[in-house]
Structures are given as structure tokens and as C-alpha cells.
Structure 1
């Protein structure tokens, strides 16, 4: 039978049939393999080949596509760098839990995807990073330089010191990848520009001013009409997010503050003993009473001006050292120091190290009554006169007793604080889920707070570190006592979450009164807007603001000349509306309306428009503005390009791997 099967399957017809069946089964086999394979990426970007940009994405053509993957390690590294940067920027206000949100993770991943899209685009365009470019980039990194030059030993040491250590090949591969991802960005940044005409046109708009007249309308009367159940239900359903109860916690905490601790007062003998031990610290330094004449000259001026200042200083020095010379009179007549000129150059008593080093050195080499040669400092040339010397003096015990008493008391409180904190922590470790027993053992009161929401800033929650612990997932889930949280010098708090309520929707029955009030407020606001629209229609057919104000028994409109963009006049919303209105025709005004956040309606007219005076702007400022506009334009162009490229590529996000 086997021989018969062999004979029937060895012909060319059988070969064709088997080949056809194999081709049919191959896609299913590959597909099944890919389904079963565990993906270890967080994002995968597929791009059609450069020589076939319209290539379809179905198999087997998809095998020709180019691919880039963002691994979990790539994402985790970027995520941690973003976390460190935000922690440095926000300091104590940094909220680790808020940073860990899915939205934030996707935002960081989106930035990584954009970088890889740029890399694929550069590769598709035939742009590559040469070894010379990588070498130049590495040699320009300041961490690898000594005295401004690349140092190979420093390079090797820096790589070996990293955790984990990197080889030169690994680091240079990372540099190459970074350059590949930034090629498109750099090319657009270098090619983007703003013409002088475009810059001037934008500057005229940015610095434009408008004369306006503003009439504040009275708030509409409160709405007192009945609100039906249907209206209440509809408002509640369409504004459900406004009626969610925030996440809250209830806390118990123990506070230890060294300032509140009672410690025995230091005895006299201890104070005197410390005085004797630290006697050298209570010596007043030698002080010198000096005057000077300053001939001011900037260090950056040319040599001729420097020489002229020095010559003037030497001339005044010759006058000051002449018999019978009056140094104070010379200072009043010639010194460029506004702080001492009127007092004859008097600088008062100075200890060593108070003045700049060059001045200080000469001053403490002079003898009483001597006048120095001109001394050069960063301020200019000085002629210094030493008038009197007060030698170093030892302070007696009584003079420093209060200082010693304060320091001893503070030291005793700090020791008591550390001892009490250590004992409290030890007591907590015996039973981490109970704060009351540890506090009772230490004779400390247990305070309670809550329920409080995350936005609360009352009591200890005014401290960001305390708030982080209060809403920490581990504290909430385990009910364990926190480590000591420092809220100030020798001042700490230990807390425990006793109750937690997650954010939740409040049923209509609980918020019915709030919803009813919101419906009535909305009615009143709409009635006010309707009235404002009717008055605006009267403005548009020729009535003036003054006539409308008189018809409504309102105060005359306020005339505000020279309103600038962004000015809160009387509110940023009104200012924005004034600049959104059209430019009035000659002899006419442009009417408009704005509604402020509190619901107050405002009528206005734009009476005159004055473009920004570009000619009055310094050329350097215009150039800086042009550079800024070019950078903004480059960012917009890059964003548009990346969005366009992503439409031609396939991006797969594996959120389960984030």
C-alpha cells in the first residue's frame, strides 16, 4: 500500500497540488506562530519600504516592511527620566501616584513613538549616521572632557562607573540611535525660518493697542421658578462629573516637635565649661577703619580707557600723599563710589574677608595713617587710607552667655527629639498596624484628621510629603504606620490611614439641591446673555454705549485707552474679546460682547486700533523675536510632519506591557 501511495504522489500533478496546499497553509502557520508568540514590546512601528511607499500591509508583502520596536526597557528608562525631571521641577509638591497614571504613561510612550517614526523616516530617505558623526558627538560630551578637551581615560572611567556599566560599543550604539532619531528634527530646525516681513507683521499684531469703551451690565435677577424633576434629571445626567465625591482619607497621627519638648535648663557650670572649651570661637577679629577713593572703570573697556583711569588714580594718589592733603575732601571731589563719596570715602570698620581679595590684602598690610598705592579690582582703581586699627579681643563669658544657653538648650532638645523618635519607631515596629499603642507607650497624644480630600491643605496636609503618604496606596491598603515624615527641622509626623473612600458618583437624591441651584443659575445666566444679545443688536444698528447705559439707568461706560493683549481689563475674557473684534472703519466703532467667568455680561466697543510700532523696537529685540518665531514654526512643522508620517505607518501599542 505504501508503494502505491508513493507512486501516486510522485507525479508532477501531485507536486503542484501539494505545493498549492503548502502555500495555503504557510500564512496560517505564520499567523498562528505570531499569535502564540509573547510580545515583549510596548509599541511597534511598521513602515512601508522606501522603494514601495504604497506597499499593502497584508502578508506576504508585509514582510518587506521596515520595523521598529520600543521595548519595555526603552519605555521604563524614558519613564524614569521623565519622573526624575518632574520631581526636580516640582520638589515637595511632586505626586508620584498622579505621575503613574495611564494617561501620563501613554503620553511619554507617544513621544518615544514619534522619535522612532522620525528614525524610520530618515532611514527611508537614505539618511544615515556616519561613524565620524558618532565620534564627534561623543567627543563633545562635557563629562568626557578634561580642560575642554576629550579625554579617553575619562571616557572609559565614566562608562565603567555607570550602573550597569557600559562598553564603548554599547554607548556608541546608543549615541548613534539618538542621532538617528533626531536627524529629521535637526533638519527641520535648521531649515525653518521666518522672513523679516512675516516677523514685522506679527510684531505689529502682538504689540497692537486698542481704545475701547466698556459697559458692565448688572447681574440678572435670581431665578426662582420651579424646577421640574425632568429638568433636574437631565442636568444631573449631562453634568455627572460635577457631582462625584472626591477620594478621601481619615488619618490618625503623632507629631513630634523638638520645640515643644521640655528639657532641663543647662546649669551654670556646664555653660562655663563649654565656654572654656570653645574660648577661641568667642574672639572678635581684628578690625580696620578705612576710607577709599574709587576711580571706576569697567574691565571690558579698551586699553586706552583702562590706562586713563590708572593715570587719574595715580594723580590723585600723589595729591593724597602730599603734605597737608585732605583725603576726605579728595574723596568727595573725585571718588566714583556713591556709597562713600559724600562721607569722604568712609568705609567704616571692616574685618578680614569683608572686602574683595585685592582690596583686603592691601588694607591689612597698611599701618595706621598710611595711604596705599592705587589698587586694581573688578570695580576699578582704589586709593586706600587706613585710619585706625582695633585689635582682636577676647569676649568674656557674660558677653556670650545667652548664646551658649540658647545653643545648649537647642542641643538638648535635638537629643531628646532623636531619642523620642527612635523609641517611637521601635514601638511602632512591634505592631506596625497600630499607632495608638506606640503613642501610649511614649505618652504622646494621637491626633485625628478627616475625612479629607486630596486637594485639602488643612493642618499637616499643608506639607506635600505628608499628603503623599496619606494617599499612598500601601498606607491605604495595609493600614500600616508610616515612617517619620520630616515637616521641618527636628519636627516630624507619623501617620496611619484609618479609613479610605474612593472617588465615587453621588446619587441624585444626595445632590438634588445642588442640581436645582445649578439649573436656576444656568437659567439666570442664559437670561442675562439674552438681554446682552438684545442690547448688542441695538449697538449694531447705531446706538451708543452711553445711550444704552442711560436707557437702563446704568453708570456711563468706562473709556479704556491703549488696551494691550492679555490685559485683565476688566477681565482677561473681555480683553480677549476686544482683540477678537474686527478693526473699526474710519469714524465707526466695532461693538462686541463678553461674558466673564462669574456670569456678568459686558458690552464694549472697539473705538480705535493702533498697530505695534515695529520701527521703535531695537533691532536686537526684533532678531531675538524672529529666532523665537522660527523655533516655534520648526516645532509646528515637525509635529505636522510626524503626524503625516504616522498616517502612512502602522503603530501598535501594547498597553498591557506598560
Structure 2
């Protein structure tokens, strides 16, 4: 079962998306805490309490910085998060009741592979400790979370694999998707009717009155803002040679370059469970090859190409560079015992019998201070920036409120630059990542900011960045005069009318064609099309109408610029065998769709069986 989890990660991820929102992995310490008072309980599932605090945390985590604050604070978003939380609890309780447990090795593997704990693509104990502390988590709490997630996956994978669709159904679907129809097109251009359109005298005014929202200029504001950023603070930090040298002396082990070795080998492969006589024959062959290598070491690559059963044979047995832990123990021990150009004896591993030639050694030494200096300076600057940020954060928060209508004292105290923006439209995306943040957008157009022109609160945007904004100028929504938008409205109304005329003309000509009445038509060249090659749903429905038995057949569809009549000359319905490779390709897609539906049904059953109760009278007050 554990192999199923490892080998079906994409399926598992798909089903996780069905049952949960993308909760942040960190900031979940409340997940492990209990003891909240009953007055904070807003629901129960299977006897497990769900608190308003827990739900509020989940709402914040699900919203993050990418969801519009207005959406994130809505009851609909809260209910979506609550539904996901109930599904998560249902799976957790079921997995626990089923006694599903996760081996310590899998949990440790997840710990070592967590991207947040990586530096330069490798696990860093220092970074792991720092990230856990920054999120108020212990290693044990992290591992509890991982264990819970993995045990839930163990429950879900069988569900993912159980969904199936008959090959007959899949073959029918493939046939429909591959069906082609030979068509010719007759386009009736709406623009050709422009001269026939005469708008009523009051048409523009009526359209204007009915669609005033379309002619409003959006709210917009100009702001000033200040940013306290750990990265910028770090760039200003000065690191002396003495400090850098002390760091180097105190952290010698961090500057050891791990030894790597490059080797070639000849492998005479034999299965681990092979019979003794098979192993003996393979070993004998390896020993004979070893004698040839000893007699002419320069022929190692040629012998590898001729005799090795390993994929590296084409490269003369070359395995490239590798470090400790990359190879099976028997191979590693032999390779790291050799000197350059030296050849090992016959080395047995679970893959068979190896003859190893060491070709090159690199690393295995300590970086000099000069080699490590730039790296050390960057690290000390980073630490200084984080320290400076921690020391300045309280001052930043205090001065934002103590001097509510100016950033000048704050900028002077902390050495910050007061920045100003051009006009920012509400709902628009201004240039610059900081001002595009939903929190900042909401702060700019809040009632307090617009009325009082006060400094906003200090927003923590993550990654060591604090921001406060203040509105300098504001323009509310403004309705453009009808005279200014008259040409625009006339264009819209004219397009509507020409479209109606083109459609009426097209349908009239289509009726004549269907009745067999001669019609002068301008047909394009006949060509074969699939469903997906047509530009609109209306065209697809028209051209691929089922049950055609007489050809040519005529159908029509309105388009953005007129009307198109299609002459269908031929239908090509392919026959798809049950063993067609495309049937297998569609199988996984349909299984996921059916599996998603099955999973939703199973979750509903789990929640009903465990008993779910939500106190809606408390829900609003606890989460708003």
C-alpha cells in the first residue's frame, strides 16, 4: 500500500484538490492545539470539535495574499473553507479508525525533502530549524502533520484506483472525438448590412440609461507609501573582515566540499534471487574479464562496451561523478577505497558482479577563507537584515499610528524612502508587486483611508516585508456624459442590428437550401474538420448534429461578425477497437472524473456516518 502512495502521486494530488482548499503548509500550529472553550465551538464531526478560531485560521490560510479581501471575508468563501475542513476531518477520523499508520522512514523522508528546508537543492538543518521556529512549530509537530496527511493519502489511493470506465464507452468517446465532417462555408458578413441600419433618435439615450455602469470611470487614487524590507536592510549592513573570519572559524564544517569520485565499471548482471549455478557462471565471467583488464588496463572502456550488461556500457562503463550515499554500499566501499586509475577486484552487489576503475577524484577539502568570503558576507548580511527588521518592526508600527497623516518622521527615523504612485484604479493591477497585493488594494480604497487620509496599518506581506500606505488624492466613480460616449454606443447598436439582419438573411437562405430551392451561394473550399476545430459551441452543435442521412446537408450558426451556412458533404465516423491505444489514454482521464464523483459520494457518506453538526447561530459571529 505504501508503494501505491509513492507510485500514484499525481492521482493523489488530484483527489486532494477535490476535498481540500490549498491551505498553507505552515502557520498551522492551531491544528495541534486543543482546549478551546465550548463557547468557541461552532461544530462537531464524529465527536471532534471544530472551533471558530480554527475555522478563522483556515480561512486566512486559504485566502493568503492572492484572494481579494472582499471575497475572503464573504460567507460563501467561509462556507467553502468549512466544507473542505469537514472533508479533511472525515478522512482523518476514518484513517485513524482504520488503524492506518505511516512508517517513520516515510515521515523522515518527507522531512528531508520539504522544499522549505532546502538550500541549493539540498536539505539544510539550519534552515529547517529556522523555518520551524518562524512558524511556531516543533519538529515533532511538523511530523505529526505529515503523518496525518500521509495516512489520509493511504485511505484515498484505493478510491482513486477503484474508479473505472468500460472500454466500450471509452471507444465510443474516442470515435466521437475523432469524427470528421467535410464541410464548405458560406459566410454572410454583418458589415454588408451597415447601410441598411438606421437607429431611432432615442436609441442612444435609451442604451445609455440602461447601461450607465458601463460608462463610469473607476475609482482611483494616488498614494504614498513606505516599505520596510529585510532584504534591503541586509544590503545596507556592513560586514568587517574580523566578523567574517570569526564566522569562518566557528563554522569550518560548513565549508567542507564533499568528496566526489568518478568511476567506470563493467557489470555482469545477475538477479538477486538467481540460482547458485547462475551466480557462479556470472562471477566466473567477471573474473575472466578482470584478468583481461589487469593485462591491459587501457582497454577497460572497450571491454565495458563489449561485455557490460549495464546501461553505461555505451559510454565505456563511465558512471560520472558521485558522492557518498549515491551507490549501493558494496560498490561505494570499493570505489572509495581505490586510487585514481586503480582497478578493483570483482565486487558483488544485488545487481551482479562489478569490476570498478576509479578515474578521477574531486572535492574532499575545506574551502579557504578567501573562497568562502563572499558566501559568508551574504549570510551575515542576511542575519543582520533579519535582526534589523525585528528591531525596527515595533518602531514602524508605532510611528505609523503616532504620526497618522505623514510618513516623514518614520522615514527619517528608520532611513526609509517615501515612495509615491501614479493613479491606481480600484480593481486594476498597478505596476509593482507590492501595490498589486490585495491587502494593499483593500487598504487604499477603505473608507478610513479615503475620508481621513490616515496612514494605513503596517501590513506584513511576508518574506520580511512591511508596508504602510496613505492616500494623497482620490477621484470617485464618475459617469461620462452621453455626448462623450455617443460614438461608442452607436457602434454597439449598429453592430447589434447588422448582426440581426445577417442572421435573418442567413436563416432565410438556409431554409431555401433545406427545401431544395436553388440559391446563388458563394461557398468556400470543402475541407474536413473535427469538433475542436470549430470556433464556437453554436457552430459545433450545428455541424455535428447527429442523425444525418442525406447529403449534402445544410446547417447554420450565428457568429460575432455575421452568420455562416455550412454545407455538410460527408461524415467520417472512425471505428475504434477496444484495444486502441487512445482508449487507454482516455481511461486515466475518465477514471479521474469518475473517481472525483465517487470520492464526493464517499465523503458525504463518511460525514453522515460520523455525524456532523454545525451551530449556524454561532458561525457568523465567530468567523466575521
CA positional deviation for 1:483:
1.9
Uncovered stretches (5+) of structure 1, i.e. residues with no partner: 1-70, 116-134, 149-191, 551-555, 639-652
Greater CA radius of gyration, 1 or 2? 1
Matches within 5 A, 1:188-203: none
CA positional deviation for 1:504:
8.9
The answer to whether the aligner puts 1:494 opposite 2:465 as a matched pair is no
CA positional deviation for 1:253:
1.7
Question: How big is each residue's C-alpha offset from its partner over 1:536-580, in whole Å with a ceiling of 9 and x where there is no partner?
Answer: 4565466999x8336xxxxx436234x1x4x2x252436633554
Q: Distance in 1 between matches of 2:382 and 2:78?
A: 47
2:69·2:438 contact (CA, 8 Å) conserved in 1? no
In the superposition, the TM-score normalised over structure 1's length comes to 0.57
Question: How big is each residue's C-alpha offset from its partner over 1:296-321, in whole Å with a ceiling of 9 and x where there is no partner?
Answer: 78xxx995699969964763354235
Map of 2:417 onto structure 1: 444
Q: 1:389 to 1:615 in 2, by over 3 A?
A: closer
Q: Distance in 1 between matches of 2:477 and 2:99?
A: 48
Q: Distance in 1 between matches of 2:515 and 2:372?
A: 84
Q: Distance in 1 between matches of 2:103 and 2:66?
A: 36
CA positional deviation for 1:595:
3.9
Map of 1:428 onto structure 2: 400
Q: Distance in 2 between matches of 1:80 and 1:209?
A: 57
Map of 1:615 onto structure 2: 578
Map of 1:516 onto structure 2: 490
CA positional deviation for 1:98:
0.9
The answer to whether the aligner puts 1:73 opposite 2:42 as a matched pair is yes
Map of 2:20 onto structure 1: none
Map of 1:131 onto structure 2: none
CA positional deviation for 1:290:
1.0
3-state DSSP class of the match of 1:360?
helix
Map of 1:315 onto structure 2: 285
1:384 to 351, 356, 375: 356
3-state DSSP class of the match of 1:284?
coil
Q: Distance in 1 between matches of 2:277 and 2:468?
A: 68
3-state DSSP class of the match of 1:342?
helix
CA positional deviation for 1:603:
3.8
The answer to whether the aligner puts 1:98 opposite 2:66 as a matched pair is no
CA positional deviation for 1:471:
5.6
Map of 1:604 onto structure 2: 566
CA positional deviation for 1:500:
7.2
3-state DSSP class of the match of 2:266?
strand
2:255 to 263, 269, 282: 282
Q: 1:599 to 1:447 in 2, by over 3 A?
A: same
Matches within 5 A, 1:118-133: none
The answer to whether the aligner puts 1:453 opposite 2:426 as a matched pair is yes
2:304 to 331, 356, 360: 331
Q: 1:254 to 1:582 in 2, by over 3 A?
A: same
With 324-333 and 221-230 compared, the bigger mean Cα shift is at 221-230
Q: Distance in 1 between matches of 2:486 and 2:51?
A: 47
Q: Distance in 1 between matches of 2:390 and 2:185?
A: 64
Question: How big is each residue's C-alpha offset from its partner over 1:267-301, in whole Å with a ceiling of 9 and x where there is no partner?
Answer: 5555445444444433433332311235678xxx9
2:426·2:441 contact (CA, 8 Å) conserved in 1? no
CA positional deviation for 1:613:
1.4
The answer to whether the aligner puts 1:399 opposite 2:371 as a matched pair is yes
The answer to whether the aligner puts 1:341 opposite 2:313 as a matched pair is yes
Map of 2:236 onto structure 1: 263
CA positional deviation for 1:496:
3.6
Number of residue-to-residue matches in the alignment? 494
CA positional deviation for 1:363:
2.8
2:42·2:619 contact (CA, 8 Å) conserved in 1? no
CA positional deviation for 1:450:
3.4
Q: 1:579 to 1:416 in 2, by over 3 A?
A: farther
Q: 1:420 to 1:385 in 2, by over 3 A?
A: same
2:215·2:485 contact (CA, 8 Å) conserved in 1? yes
The answer to whether the aligner puts 1:485 opposite 2:460 as a matched pair is yes
3-state DSSP class of the match of 1:549?
coil
Question: How big is each residue's C-alpha offset from its partner over 1:608-644, in whole Å with a ceiling of 9 and x where there is no partner?
Answer: 1315615244686787688678668889999xxxxxx
2:549 to 569, 575, 585: 585
Q: 1:251 to 1:580 in 2, by over 3 A?
A: farther
Q: Distance in 2 between matches of 1:258 and 1:94?
A: 25
Q: 1:293 to 1:79 in 2, by over 3 A?
A: farther
Uncovered stretches (5+) of structure 2, i.e. residues with no partner: 1-39, 88-92, 107-162, 603-615
RMSD: 5.5
Q: Larger relative contact order (C-alpha < 8 A, sep ≥ 6)?
A: 2
3-state DSSP class of the match of 2:489?
helix
Map of 2:206 onto structure 1: 234
Matches within 5 A, 1:534-549: 534=508, 536-537=510-511, 540=514, 548-549=521-522
Question: How big is each residue's C-alpha offset from its partner over 1:40-63, in whole Å with a ceiling of 9 and x where there is no partner?
Answer: xxxxxxxxxxxxxxxxxxxxxxxx
Q: Distance in 1 between matches of 2:194 and 2:209?
A: 21
3-state DSSP class of the match of 1:393?
coil
